[in-house]
Each structure stands twice: as structure tokens, then as C-alpha cells.
Amino acid sequence: REVVLPSELHSRVDYHLKSYLSQKSATRDGYPNNTLPTSRTSESLVGEADEPLRQSPVAEGILRRKSFQLRNKQQDWQESVEGQKMQELRRSLPAYKEKEALLNAISRNQVIVVSGETGCGKTTQLPQYILESEIEAARGAVCSIICTQPRRISAMSVAERVAAERGEKLGDSVGYKVRLEGIKGRDTRLLFCTTGILLRRLLLDRSLQGVTHVIVDEIHERGMNEDFLLIVLKELLPRRPELKLILMSATLNAELFSSYFGGAPMMHIPGFTYPVRSYFLENILEMTGYRLSTYNQIDNYGQEKSWKMQKQTLRKRKTQIASAAEDALGAADLRELNPWTRDSLSCWNPDSIGFNLIENVVCHICKKERPGAILVFMTGWDDINSLKDQLQSHPLLGDPTKVLLLACHGSMDSSEQKLIFNKPEDGIRKIVLATNMAETSITINDVVYVVDCGKAKETSYDALNNTPCLLPAWISKASARQRRGRAGRVQPGECYHLYPRSVYDAFAEYQLPELLRTPLQSLCLQIKSLQLGSISDFLSKALQPPEPLSVQNAIEYLKIIGALDDKENLTVLGRKLSVLPVEPKLGKMLILGAIFNCLDPIMTVVAGLSVRDPFLMPFEKKDLAESAKAQFSGGDNSDHLALLRAYDGWKAAERQQSGAEYCWRNFLSSQTLRAIDSLRKQFYHLLRDCGLVENMEKCNTWSHDQHLIRAIICSGLFPGICSVVNKEKSVSLKTMEDGPVLLYLNSVNAQEPRIPYPWLVFNEKVKVNTVFLRDSTAVSDSVVLLFGGTVSKGAMDGHLKMLGGYLEFFMKPGLAATYLTLKRELDELIQMK
């Protein structure tokens, strides 16, 4: 068994401590307690907060002259031939009829709530109306409008669209800013940004100096950042009486927001959509010629179940649907069914999507129905890609002379993005596979057919078990209606819901707000760093406050990792973590990587965890792919070290121009590896700007030390830890909260008959039926004892308890004391006092 003996680790850590401390006292001492990094020059900063749009005080005369210039420029464009054409197009949007009323309401009220059908022109027009009217009133040079979007891609595409409508390039009067990138110039007056960017800006500038209008878009989605931003803005408004706030929402629950802001006026933009016919699974099966007998049996079963569901709570209701599906699947004789039928049955299960069924439906439309684009709603990047592969090998759907097959999800690049909006040539059918971002934030004009799988990937959070889950879940009735509405933009449309009517009837009315279904750790850190007072008090002011238990869990977690002290004050580590735009656990790894001069490998691991797994697991070649991955593990019992080796190998291959071949051979995604590569660079700049690293060489003197890498991974992932007991033929794993757990099959540790370590630290656990762990690294007792969490009052007890049987071995007199001293020193070092 390969273990690091306590004494060996002791001297190792001792060595690092001493060398670090001497090095630190020789140079400057971390960075001072109350300052945030000041160097914000580098455009490449990850999620860097924005400078105020307005430059430092400029003489009034210059501002006035600038305003006149802006006005002339705008008039010139509006009078030009192209400008006229554009105006005409813009006037055809429903929002135009309300333009004057909207501007009037804005000038008379501090807050207004605007709702309107998707595509009516809220996002592209309203911010533009404000900008135009400010420029016309010769206030162009002093106005500063910020419009937030929940997603990067919409911030970018909308900014581009608005700049084009104004006959300008991006970065003139209109710009955008999202994490990792942005285009804006000195004269940018209207900035589209993600909600996260505005929150970071608030961190540096709590009263949003110089900003005249804040527009929060897509509030109906009830994302966590948006709900959080609304609490902050609500508190800010009385301090900034001249600041205008405009809330925009697609569906009609405007009353909720209006009453939150003390009865702010509501404006509605009436829109027009064509009727859309709905088909549910039963109709679809009939339409495509499927024997109904088995289905009816199952449907009766389902209806009975769904009737019972009426009484259940939302969460229970979802599990009930799932179990109805399972029972149904059990009841049917699966051998009798062809793959497609089996697929349609699996549509009952919220975790799976019937690819064959989708293929059949799409094919049916292409062959039998009139022209018009097809929009398919899927749950995420993974299944969009898999489905795309499958459709591409279909004789009709894969024929580029007949079908234009496109994907639309958050992480695609902008060139691919544009293709989605283009109209294909006559005779070619456009099919767009999209996530739920196509529900409201993106409008594809020529869609006539919508295929709705009925699911969306939703982060949910089980506060009782403190387990976050990212799982496909049934959507709400509101989402289903919204999806259906996408088919009726240009002519009457059709919507194929790939689930039975009875399942639809059991859907919840609205989706639960994100604040109520996700872990709150990052949010709590932000509350603290924005000095918004007690976390619980602050969150109790939300539109719909989260459960006290979830808040407590998050606070507890932050204490365990040492980001908050016992009195809930931000520690030095906590302050640093709140500046790093990554989850606290990943931030902690980066900081330790920097402290221990072991940065390079840690940046790779963290980037890997924040992008996605680069190891591809194609279903048909699963065995080959698994053994390719296993070969990177080298018996290390660590998915993180395997990723590190794979990445390093790819870098070496890239230098010899054989990166693509390397990826192909090893079942790796070169796209993901490139994303990891670029994120690593961002991390480096960020850490340098925070004063955490000085130069690349110095921060890598210990990068070869595998034990240290493991220890730092443990420091970040703790308390995500499970115990390992090697049985006769298998390995049994347990966590303190869940009891027995399993590993995802693609983990290198899942392939091992034995794991020669007592613990696995893991990045994520997901609850399906059992709890599954994703991405794990095996660690020794001493690593857990030293690097797992901080020693605050009760924490050491907890540690020792967890280490259970190993305690005796460790707690030999003398050794225990050494550990405690060492642990304390280490904690202090991490806090960098």
C-alpha cells in the first residue's frame, strides 16, 4: 500500500512551511487586509469587475461637446438609407408602439416592470430607446446604461445586434462584458453584461457611481444572481434617487416584482403570435404509426399515478413521475419492444431522453410537413452533441443538401451562433438543437416546429442531505407553454411534446427559483464581501427567501473551509475567495497552489473542474475509452491526476503539431482541452493581479510533487470525502451524510478492484437513486488530517471522529501534538496573517 507515512509528510509540510514563511517575510507580506486588488488593467482578467463607465471627472464643456457629437452621429445614421431601412424594421416590432409610454413611465418613476411576449423587442429595443432619447436630449455623454442578461451568449449576441441597428461597431456606444471577454470602449454608453459582472462591479463600487439606468432582463427566470441583485438594488435605490431601474420579464408574473418594489408600475407590451397545435406522446405515437396497446396500458397506469400526485409537494411530484415511469417500464415486456418504442417509454423518466423518438419525430416533420425550421429543446451540451452525432449519421437528416443541423447552447462560439439566426436556402430544412436558453433569451424567427423533450437540466439542492444535484428534471407548465410559443412566430406552428398529456398535467405551474434550489456558498461569500450584514438577515429580504437550513449549511461549509470565522466574519482567505470568480473550493485550491509553489498542476486541475471533463465516453466505444482513460491514471487512484497527465500529454503533443491525433487516439476532446488551456492562463493573470504569485518559475518549484498535489486537491474538495473499505471482491464507499455511495463508471477509481487508501475526496455528488460521486482522488489519513478544512472550535473533533478507526494509529502521544501544531501553522499560513 502506497501511503505517505506521517513522519514523511510531516517533514514535507514542515519544509514547505518554513521555505514559504522565509520567502514571504523576505518579500512583501501577502496583500493588506482591507484592500482589493487594484490592478485592473488587464482585459483578460477572469470576470474582472468593471471600471465605472464614466471616466474621471471631465470638464462640463467637454461633456457637452461630446453629447452634441453623439447626437449628430445618431441623426446622420437615422437619416441614411441603411439607417432608414433599419428604422423601418425596428418600427415593426410590438415594442415600438409602446415606446413613448415606456420612456414616459421611466422618466416619472424610479422603478418600472416591463413584460411582453418573447420576441416583442424588450431586450434589443428598450435599452436602445433609452440610449437614443438620452442622446437626443444631449445627455449622451453623461448617461450610462447597464443591461444585465442571465447568459453570456445573450449578452454578446444582443450587444452585437443593437450595435448593428445603430450602424456602429461593437465598442462604440454599445458594448458587452461577460466573464473572460468583453468589447467596450471609452464612449460605450450602453453595456450589456451578465448579471455576475454587475455584481462584481458592485463589489468595487457599491453605489454604482455614474450609472444612470440599470435594466435587469429575464427576471422571470428567477436565477440566483438576479434574485440577489434585486435585493442589493432595492437597498441601493433610496441612496441613489436619480438611478432608474427597469425590470424586464417574458411571462406575466409581473405583480410579484412590482409589489417587491413597493408597487412599481407595470407596463405590458402586447404581442402577437400565431396559434400553435400541441401534440403529446400519445398523439405522436399514433401519428407515426405505433401499436397503441402497450402504451395505453402504461398510460392508464401513469394517469392513476398522476392523479395521486396532485396532493404531493413539487419535489415529491417529480420523483413520483419518475417512479411511475419506472413502474411502467417494469410492467412492459421490454424484449417485445423495438429500440424506438423503448425510447418513447423512457420519455417518462426525467433522467433520460429518447433519441430515437426525437429522430423519428424530426424525420416525420421533414418528410411530411410543410417547410419551416425545427427547434428541438434538449437538456444540455452533452445530449445535444450526442443527438447531433446520431442525426448526422441518418441518411436524410445527415444530408447537408437537405438539412442544416445546428446546435445552440451556452458554450458555443459566436460564429456558430450566427448560423442559427440565418435563414437557410430554399429546400433546406434548418434544425436547431437547443437548451432552454432558446425558450426566452434567443429568438429564432423562422421556427415553425418545436420538439419539446419536457426536461431541462436544473441544479437542485437537497438541503437535508446537503447534496447539490444537476439533473434533468421535468420543466414547469410555464416553460412548456413558452417552448410551444416559439413555434408560432411567423405562421401557425406545431409543437411535439415528447411526454404524455398526463405527465404535463402533473408539471408544476412555475419552476422553483434558483435561490431555493442551489447551494448558497458563493452567494454567502459575496454577501459578506459586499458588507451587506448578517447573511441570514440579508437573504430573508429576498423575493422568496431560501430555507434557513440551506443558509445554515452554506455558512457551516464556509466555516469548515476557513472562509468565515466563528462569528461569521470574512477571514483573509474568505476575502480572497470572494475576489476569485470560481467556486470557493476551486479558489481555495488555487490559493494553496500558489502558496505551496505548486501552481501549474493545480491550475490544470481547477480549470478541468470548471470547464468539463475532457475525457470522451462515446457509448459504442465505452470500453476503449475507459481503458484510454485508465492508462492516464497510472495506478494513482485519482481522476484529477489522470486529467493532469492527459492535459500535459496534449500540451507536449501540441508542441509537435500532433495534438489532434493525440486527442483522437486517447478519446479526449481537443475543444475542452483548449478551453482548459485558456482558463489556466486567465487564472494565472488573476492570481498575479491579486498579488498571490510573482512569476511562473517561482510558483512552480514544487509542481512535480504528487503528494502535495493530492493534498491541495484535498484541501479544496474537503468536506467532500468518503471512506474506503476494501472488501473481498469490491470496494465499499460511504459518506457521513449519505451512507453507502457509488462512483460514476467513468472514474478511474471505479475500475479498481482495490483502492489502497482510506479516503476518497470528490468534487461532486449527484443524487439519482443512490448517491454517485464524480471525479475523485484517493488520499491518506495524514493528508485529510492536515489539509481537510480548518481547525476551528468543533472542527478538529469532527476530523478526528471522521478518521474513526485510524485515530489510534495517529494519536500516539507526541504525534497528536505534532499534528495539531502543524495543522495550526498550516491554517495560519492559509489565512496568511
Residue 123 has a CB neighbour count (10 Å cut-off) of 29
E-state strands within 519-667: none
In angstroms, give the least distance from the CB of 76 to ligand CDP. 23
In angstroms, give the least distance from the CB of 220 to ligand CDP. 11
Instruction: Choose the one of Mg ion, ligand CDP, none that binds residue 157, judging by a C-beta under 5 to 8 angstroms depending on kind.
Output: ligand CDP
In angstroms, give the least distance from the CB of 436 to ligand CDP. 14
Using the minimum distance from each CB to ligand CDP, give the nearer residue, 222 or 501. Answer: 222
Question: Which helix (H) or strand (E) element contains residue 89?
Answer: helix 81-91
In angstroms, give the least distance from the CB of 98 to ligand CDP. 11
Cα gap 675→682, rounded to integer Å: 11
Answer for which of 67, 123, 467, 476 binds Mg ion (CB under 5 A) is: 123
The interface region with Mg ion, picked from 119-127, 187-195, 361-369, 824-832 by CB under 5 A, is 119-127
Instruction: Choose the one of ligand CDP, Mg ion, none that binds residue 472, judging by a C-beta under 5 to 8 angstroms depending on kind.
Output: none
Q: What share of the chain is helix, strand, coil (3-state, %, to 5)?
A: 50, 15, 35
The interface region with Mg ion, picked from 115-123, 257-265, 579-587, 652-660 by CB under 5 A, is 115-123
Using the minimum distance from each CB to ligand CDP, give the nearer residue, 248 or 609. Answer: 248
Return the SS3 of 730.
coil
Using the minimum distance from each CB to ligand CDP, give the nearer residue, 484 or 575. Answer: 484
Contacting positions for ligand CDP (CB under 6 A): 93, 116, 118-125, 157, 161, 421, 443, 445
Using the minimum distance from each CB to ligand CDP, give the nearer residue, 482 or 776. Answer: 482
Instruction: Choose the one of Mg ion, ligand CDP, none that binds residue 443, judging by a C-beta under 5 to 8 angstroms depending on kind.
Output: ligand CDP
Say if strands 759-767 and 739-743 run parallel, antiparallel, or are unpaired: unpaired
Instruction: Choose the one of ligand CDP, Mg ion, none that binds residue 789, judging by a C-beta under 5 to 8 angstroms depending on kind.
Output: none
Instruction: Choose the one of ligand CDP, Mg ion, none that binds residue 120, judging by a C-beta under 5 to 8 angstroms depending on kind.
Output: ligand CDP
Instruction: Choose the one of ligand CDP, Mg ion, none that binds residue 124, judging by a C-beta under 5 to 8 angstroms depending on kind.
Output: ligand CDP
CA–CA distances in Å: residue 576 to residues 582, 687, 691, 775: 11, 10, 10, 25
Instruction: Choose the one of ligand CDP, Mg ion, none that binds residue 421, judging by a C-beta under 5 to 8 angstroms depending on kind.
Output: ligand CDP
Among all chains, which residue has been given the C-alpha cell 434585486? Answer: 230
Query: ∠ CA(238), CA(240), CA(242), 5° rounding?
Result: 110
Instruction: Choose the one of Mg ion, ligand CDP, none that binds residue 640, judging by a C-beta under 5 to 8 angstroms depending on kind.
Output: none
The radius of gyration of the chain from alpha carbons, rounded to an integer in Å, stands at 28
> Concatenated DSSP letters for 326-392?
HHHHHHS-GGGS-HHHHHHHHTTSTT---HHHHHHHHHHHHHHS-S-EEEEE-SSHHHHHHHHHHHH
Q: Are 818 and 11 in contact (CB under 8 A)?
A: no
In angstroms, give the least distance from the CB of 239 to ligand CDP. 30
Which residue's C-beta sits nearest to Mg ion? 123
Q: Could you say which DSSP state residue 172 is in?
A: S
Using the minimum distance from each CB to Mg ion, give the nearer residue, 123 or 188. Answer: 123
Cα gap 228→541, rounded to integer Å: 10
In angstroms, give the least distance from the CB of 329 to Mg ion. 39
In angstroms, give the least distance from the CB of 266 to Mg ion. 17
Using the minimum distance from each CB to ligand CDP, give the nearer residue, 296 or 422. Answer: 422
The x, y and z cell numbers of residue 488, run together, are: 408560432
In angstroms, give the least distance from the CB of 217 to Mg ion. 6
Cα gap 284→299, rounded to integer Å: 14
In angstroms, give the least distance from the CB of 369 to ligand CDP. 22
Using the minimum distance from each CB to ligand CDP, give the nearer residue, 356 or 443. Answer: 443
Burial, 726: exposed, middle or buried (Cβ in 10 Å; 0-12, 13-18, 19+)? middle
Using a CB cutoff of 8 Å and minimum separation of 24, what contacts does 643-648 make? 643/604, 643/605, 643/608, 643/613, 643/614, 643/615, 644/601, 644/604, 644/605, 644/608, 644/709, 646/614, 646/615, 646/673, 647/604, 647/608, 647/614, 647/673, 647/676, 647/677, 648/604
In angstroms, give the least distance from the CB of 493 to ligand CDP. 15
In angstroms, give the least distance from the CB of 247 to Mg ion. 12
In angstroms, give the least distance from the CB of 491 to ligand CDP. 14
Using the minimum distance from each CB to Mg ion, give the nearer residue, 123 or 258. Answer: 123
Cα gap 803→718, rounded to integer Å: 13
Cα gap 624→622, rounded to integer Å: 6
Total residues at interface with Mg ion (CB under 5 A):
2
Length of the chain: 833
Using the minimum distance from each CB to ligand CDP, give the nearer residue, 306 or 441. Answer: 441
Alpha helices in 114-223 (DSSP H): 122-136, 152-165, 195-204
Using the minimum distance from each CB to Mg ion, give the nearer residue, 123 or 780. Answer: 123
Using the minimum distance from each CB to Mg ion, give the nearer residue, 122 or 429. Answer: 122
Using the minimum distance from each CB to Mg ion, give the nearer residue, 123 or 715. Answer: 123
E-state strands within 89-189: 111-116, 145-149, 174-178, 181-183
Q: Could you say which DSSP state residue 316 is in?
A: H
Instruction: Choose the one of Mg ion, ligand CDP, none that binds residue 116, judging by a C-beta under 5 to 8 angstroms depending on kind.
Output: ligand CDP
In angstroms, give the least distance from the CB of 92 to ligand CDP. 9
Residue 515 has a CB neighbour count (10 Å cut-off) of 25
Q: Which amino acid is at 525?
A: L
In angstroms, give the least distance from the CB of 276 to Mg ion. 20
Using the minimum distance from each CB to Mg ion, give the nearer residue, 164 or 630. Answer: 164
Q: How many CA atoms lie within 13 A of 392 on its CB side?
A: 11
Using the minimum distance from each CB to ligand CDP, give the nearer residue, 67 or 123. Answer: 123
Q: How many CA atoms lie within 13 A of 495 on its CB side?
A: 22
Task: Report which of 51, 352, 337 is spatially closest to residue 209, judged by C-alpha positions.
Answer: 51
Q: Are 555 and 564 in contact (CB under 8 A)?
A: yes
Using the minimum distance from each CB to ligand CDP, give the nearer residue, 118 or 526. Answer: 118
Binding mask 711-750 for Mg ion (x = CB under 5 A): ----------------------------------------
The interface region with Mg ion, picked from 54-62, 114-122, 524-532, 561-569 by CB under 5 A, is 114-122
In angstroms, give the least distance from the CB of 86 to ligand CDP. 11
Query: ∠ CA(137), CA(140), CA(143), 5° rounding?
Result: 105
What is the contact surface with Mg ion in residues (CB under 5 A)? 122-123
